[in-house]
Amino acid sequence: MIGLVIFKLQHIFPQFILVYILLHVGSSSIPCLEPYCECSSQRKEATCTNLTFIPRLPDYVKNVYFKGNKFTNVTRHFMLNVTKTEIRHISLVDNSIEHFSRDTLYDLKWLRNFEISAEPKVYDLDVRSAFFKLKRDSITIVRFEDNNWKILPPDLFFGQTNITEASFSGNKAQRNAFVVFAPLQKLRLLNMSRNSLTTFDLQGQCTLKIADLSKNYIDEFQNFCCGTCNRYCCQSHGCKSKSPNLRVLDLGSNSLSILESSYFYCLPSLEILILNSNRFVSINDNAFVVLPSLQKLYIEKNQQITTIGPAAFNISTLRLLSLAYNNFRFDSKLNIHNFDPNSIFKYFLNLEVLNLGYNFLSSDSDTSILIFKHLPNLITLNLENMRLNKLPSGIFSKMVSLESLNLQGNIIRYWPDGTFDKFINLKFLNLQKNQIQLLNKTSIKSEVLQRLLQFDLSNNPLMCTCDLMWFRNWIKKNNTSLLSNYPQGYKCAFPENLQDTLLEEYNPTEVICTPWNPLLTMTLVLSTSGFFILVLMFSVYKCHTNIRNYLYLFRLHRLQKDGYLQLDNRQDFAFHAFVVYCNADREWVHASFVKRIEREGIKLCIHHRNFDVGVPISENVDKYMKESWKVVIIMSNDFAESEWCQWECECVQERRRHHGKDACVLIMLRTIDANHMTSSIKTLLQSTPYLRFKEGVGEEIFWQAIIDALRKPLSVPPMAI
C-alpha cells in the first residue's frame, strides 16, 4: 500500500511543481510550455494539447487554442492563468469537458472571440449563463460546433449585440433555432450547416452577408419579403426585405424539390447561390430572374433533374454557372421536350465560367453548336466526363474569348482540323484520359501549342508509330514544362511490342519512317490474299463439321438479338431499383440508404415520393415494379410482421423467377428472429445472397457492395431455348 502511494506521488508531484511555478513566476519570464504548447510571437498565438490544466502563457500571446486536452471541470478558477494576459481569442475544441461553470468567463476582460466545439457534454444553458458574466457587447465572433445542441436558448446572446460571425455547424438544431439570432443586428456571417433544420427564417438580419445552411433537411424556402414594417424588417431598405444585404446563400445538401422565382424575391444583393445535392426534378423558366445581383450559381449533384426550361437561366448578370454531376442529357434528339439547345444559354451576356462536367453532351454538331453559340465572352469551359466520342465541327466557333478548356475523361478519338485554331486566347487545354492515339500538325497547329501555358494529353492510348513522329519531335524542340504529367503520363499503347513504353523513350528515325513503296504493298497484298484463299478452302474441306456448329451458334445469337431470348437492359426502365421496406425502417431508408445510393447516380423508386396520388397501393406497386430494373428488399422483424411487405415479397419471388437472382438485392437491416420468419422470406433468403448492414468498421464495404449489385447486369434467366 505504501509503495502504491509513493508511486502515485512520483507521477503527480512533478505536475504540482509545474503548476506552482506557472502560477508564481512573473509573466515576463514565462516561456512557452513545450512540448505541450506551440507558441508564435509573430502570429501572437499559442496552441496547447494533452494537458489537464491551463498554463501561464507568454505576454505576447493574444489568441489561444486548446484542443485534445483533458479539461473535465472548467471553472473561473480553472481559467485563472489566461486572465494574466490580454487574451482576445479562446478556442476550446475536443477537451472532454464535462462541466462548464457559469462563472468561467467572468475575468476575461479582453475576450473578443470565443469557441467551444466538439464538447457534447457541455450544457448550452451553462454557456448562456457564462455569457451573461461577460462585459456587455464585448464579443464579436462565436463558434459552437459539433456539440449536439438540439435547442438554442433564445437569450443566448443577451447583452452581446456586436457579434458579427456565429457558427453552430454540426449540432442538431431545429426550426426555432433562428430566434436566437434576432438581436444580432451586426451579424455578417451565419453558419448553420450540418444540423436538423427542415426550414429556416432569417429574421431581420439586415447586415447578414453570408448564410451557410447546407447539409440539413430543409424542404421549403422562407419568405424573404416583408409585408409591413416591424422588428424583422430592415427600415433602411424600405421595409421590403428581411435580409437585404445577403451576398452568399448556401442551401446545398438539403431536400428542396422545387425551383420558382417567387422563392428569391427581396434578395437584392445576393451574388452567390448554392443549391447542390437537393431533389430538384426541373429548373423552371425565370427561376432566378428576380435576383438582380446574382453572379455565381451552383446547381450540382441534382441527378433527378430531367427538365430545364428554355428561359430557366434568364439572368444576364451571371458570371459563373455550374451544372456539374447532374447526369442531365444535353441531347436535342433524345431529350427534345426537356430542354431547348437554342435558348438554354442565350441570356448569358456576361457569363465567364461554365461547368457542365459529368453530364451527357451529344456529339451531334447541330445540338452542340446551338448550345454554345450564345457564349462569346466565356473564359472557362468544363466539359469533363461528358461522354463525348468526338468534337463536332464548329462546336467552339463562337468562343473567341476562351482561355481554359477541360475535356478530360471523355472518349474523344479525333476532331476536325482547325477546331482549336480560333482560340487566340487559349492558355489551358486538358485532353487527359480520352482515346486519342495520334496527334499531328493538322490536329493542333504549332501556333496554338505555343500560346498554351498548360497542355495535358496524359493517359491517352498513344499509337507510337511514324504518324506520331511530328508530336514527338515537337516535344523535343520545346519546353516540356507546359505538358502536365510528362513524362510518366505519356506511354505507348500500340504497337504491342512498345506497350507501356514512355513516349520520351520512343525515338523513330527518318529511315524507319520512310514511306513504303506502293508496288511492294500491292504485291504483298495480292500474295497474302491468294495464300489466305487457299488456306480458307482447305479449312472448309477439313472442318465442315465445326463450321456447322458455328453456324448454329450464330443462328442462336440472331434469335436472341431478334427478341426470342431478350435480356432486360437498364435503359429499358425508368428506375434502377424499386425499394421494398416497412414504415418502421423509413428513417434509415430515407436518411441513409436513399441519400447514399442516389449520390452515385442510381435512381431509386420510393413509394412516398414516386407513387401516383389517388391510385391504390397494389396498382402503384405493380406499375412501378415493372418500371424498375431491379428490386431492393430491406428486411427486419418489422418487415416480417407487415402484411403489405409479405405481399410485396410474393411479387418479388415472381420477379426473381422471370428475371433471375440478379434482379433482386436483399439487405438484412436487422436480423429476423425465428418467431417472425415466414416461409416466403425463408425461401427468398435460401435462394438469393443477401447483405447485412452494420455501422462502423466495414460500412463502406457494405455500401460499395450494394452499388456494385445495383449496377451488375442481369444474368440469363432460367428458361429453355
Domain holding 47: CATH number? 3.80.10.10
Side-chain-facing half-sphere of 343: CA atoms under 13 Å: 12
Residues 6+ apart with CB under 8 A from 689: 661, 666
Q: Is residue 531 part of a domain?
A: yes
Whether residue 1 is predicted with pLDDT greater than 80 in this model: the reply is no
**What's the average model confidence in pLDDT over 562-582?**
73
**What's the average model confidence in pLDDT over 68-94?**
93
pLDDT in tens, 176-200: 788 888 888 899 999 999 999 999 8
Q: What distance separates the 2 farthest-apart alpha carbons in the chain?
A: 108
User: What three-state secondary structure class fits 268?
Assistant: coil
CB 408 within 8 A of CB 358: no
Q: Is residue 269 part of a domain?
A: no
Q: Is residue 124 part of a domain?
A: yes
Q: Are residues 525 and 609 in the same domain?
A: no
What is the band of 513 on the pLDDT scale with cuts at 50, 70, 90?
Answer: confident
Q: Which ranges of 64-167 would DSSP assign to H, the alpha helix?
A: 124-132
C-alpha cell at 615: 391510385
What does the alpha-carbon distance between residue 256 and residue 250 come to, in Å, rounded to a whole number? 12
CA 536 to centroid of chain Cα atoms = 57
Answer with the one of 79, 111, 135 that is the final residue of a domain: 135
Q: Which of 92, 144, 86 is nearest to 112 (CA)?
A: 86
pLDDT at position 699 is 80
What does the alpha-carbon distance between residue 625 and residue 290 come to, in Å, rounded to a whole number? 41
Q: Are residues 688 and 616 in the same domain?
A: yes
pLDDT in tens, 424-481: 899 999 999 999 999 888 888 888 898 999 999 999 999 998 888 889 888 888 878 8
More confident position, 2 or 54: 54
Q: Are residues 604 and 695 in the same domain?
A: yes
pLDDT at position 36 is 94
pLDDT at position 337 is 73
User: What three-state secondary structure class fits 393?
Assistant: coil
Q: Are residues 589 and 689 in the same domain?
A: yes
What does the alpha-carbon distance between residue 453 and residue 334 come to, in Å, rounded to a whole number? 38
More confident position, 687 or 327: 327
More confident position, 79 or 242: 79
Q: Which of 73, 129, 137 is nearest to 106 (CA)?
A: 129
Question: Which of 34-38, 129-133, 689-693 is modeled with the greatest confidence?
Answer: 34-38
pLDDT at position 440 is 86
Q: Is residue 126 part of a domain?
A: yes
pLDDT at position 651 is 80
Lowest mean pLDDT among 82-91, 575-584, 629-638, 706-715: 706-715
Residue 469: in which H helix or E strand, if any?
helix 469-477
More confident position, 638 or 22: 638
pLDDT at position 469 is 87
Q: Could you please report the per-residue DSSP string of 480-513?
A: GGGBTTTTTT-BEEESGGGTT-BGGG----TTTT
Lowest mean pLDDT among 320-324, 399-403, 558-562: 558-562
Whether residue 341 is predicted with pLDDT greater than 70 in this model: the reply is yes
What does the alpha-carbon distance between residue 427 and residue 450 come to, in Å, rounded to a whole number? 9
Answer with the one of 561, 590, 616 that is the final residue of a domain: 561
Cβ count near 554 (within 10 Å): 10
Q: Are residues 534 and 637 in the same domain?
A: no
Q: What single-letter amino acid sits at 387?
A: R
Whether residue 311 is predicted with pLDDT greater than 70 in this model: the reply is yes
pLDDT in tens, 596-651: 888 888 888 988 888 888 888 778 888 888 888 888 988 888 888 877 787 888 78
C-alpha cell at 682: 425463408
Whether residue 716 is predicted with pLDDT greater than 60 in this model: the reply is no
Whether residue 6 is predicted with pLDDT greater than 70 in this model: the reply is no
Side-chain-facing half-sphere of 302: CA atoms under 13 Å: 28
Q: Are residues 541 and 651 in the same domain?
A: no
Q: Which of 407, 370, 372, 373 is nearest to 388 (CA)?
A: 407
Q: How many domains does the chain have?
A: 3
Lowest mean pLDDT among 162-171, 336-345, 508-517: 508-517
What does the alpha-carbon distance between residue 479 and residue 147 come to, in Å, rounded to a whole number? 54
Q: Are residues 618 and 706 in the same domain?
A: yes
Whether residue 30 is predicted with pLDDT greater than 90 in this model: the reply is no
CA 455 to centroid of chain Cα atoms = 27
Q: Is residue 501 part of a domain?
A: no
pLDDT at position 332 is 67
pLDDT at position 21 is 45
Whether residue 520 is predicted with pLDDT greater than 80 in this model: the reply is no
**What's the average model confidence in pLDDT over 9-34?**
55
Whether residue 261 is predicted with pLDDT greater than 70 in this model: the reply is yes
CB 189 within 8 A of CB 209: yes
pTM of the entire structure?
Answer: 0.67
Q: Is 144 left (phi over 0), alpha (psi -120 to 50) or beta?
A: beta
CB 153 within 8 A of CB 180: yes
User: What three-state secondary structure class fits 145?
Assistant: coil
- Tell me, what CATH number does 670's domain have? 3.40.50.10140
pLDDT in tens, 641-682: 877 787 888 787 777 777 777 788 888 888 888 777 777 777
Q: Are residues 588 and 699 in the same domain?
A: yes
C-alpha cell at 198: 427542415
Whether residue 412 is predicted with pLDDT greater than 90 in this model: the reply is yes
Which domain, by its residues, includes 577?
570-711
pLDDT at position 359 is 94
Instruction: Share the mean pLDDT of the chain.
Output: 84
Residues 6+ apart with CB under 8 A from 207: 164, 185, 186, 187, 188, 245
Q: Is residue 235 part of a domain?
A: no
**What's the average model confidence in pLDDT over 193-220?**
90
Lowest mean pLDDT among 121-130, 219-228, 541-550: 541-550
Whether residue 381 is predicted with pLDDT greater than 90 in this model: the reply is yes
What is the band of 227 on the pLDDT scale with cuts at 50, 70, 90?
Answer: low
Q: Are residues 593 and 695 in the same domain?
A: yes
Answer with the one of 115, 135, 155 that is the final residue of a domain: 135
Q: Is residue 610 part of a domain?
A: yes
Q: Which of 683, 703, 693, 587 is nearest to 635 (CA)?
A: 693
Please report, to the nearest 10 degrees, the dihedral formed by the alpha carbons of residues 433, 439, 444, 447 taken in order.
120
CB 495 within 8 A of CB 468: no
Q: Is residue 439 part of a domain?
A: no
What is the band of 517 on the pLDDT scale with cuts at 50, 70, 90?
Answer: low
Lowest mean pLDDT among 60-69, 301-310, 593-602: 593-602
Q: Are residues 594 and 691 in the same domain?
A: yes
**What's the average model confidence in pLDDT over 685-701?**
78
Beta bridge partners of 692: 668
pLDDT in tens, 384-411: 999 998 888 888 888 889 999 999 999 9
Residues 6+ apart with CB under 8 A from 45: 39, 61, 62, 63, 64, 65, 89
Sign, CA dihedral 330-336-341-347, equals negative
pLDDT at position 215 is 96
Whether residue 5 is predicted with pLDDT greater than 60 in this model: the reply is no
What does the alpha-carbon distance between residue 95 and residue 72 come to, in Å, rounded to a whole number? 8
Q: Are residues 605 and 633 in the same domain?
A: yes
Number of residues assigned to the chain: 721
What does the alpha-carbon distance between residue 633 and residue 645 come to, in Å, rounded to a whole number? 9
The CA-CA-CA angle for residues 69, 99, 167, to 5°, reads 75
Q: Are residues 578 and 685 in the same domain?
A: yes
Q: Which of 101, 49, 50 is nearest to 80 (CA)?
A: 101
Residue with cell 512498345: 498
Q: How far is CA 273 from CA 246, 269, 629, 643, 652, in A?
A: 10, 11, 36, 46, 43
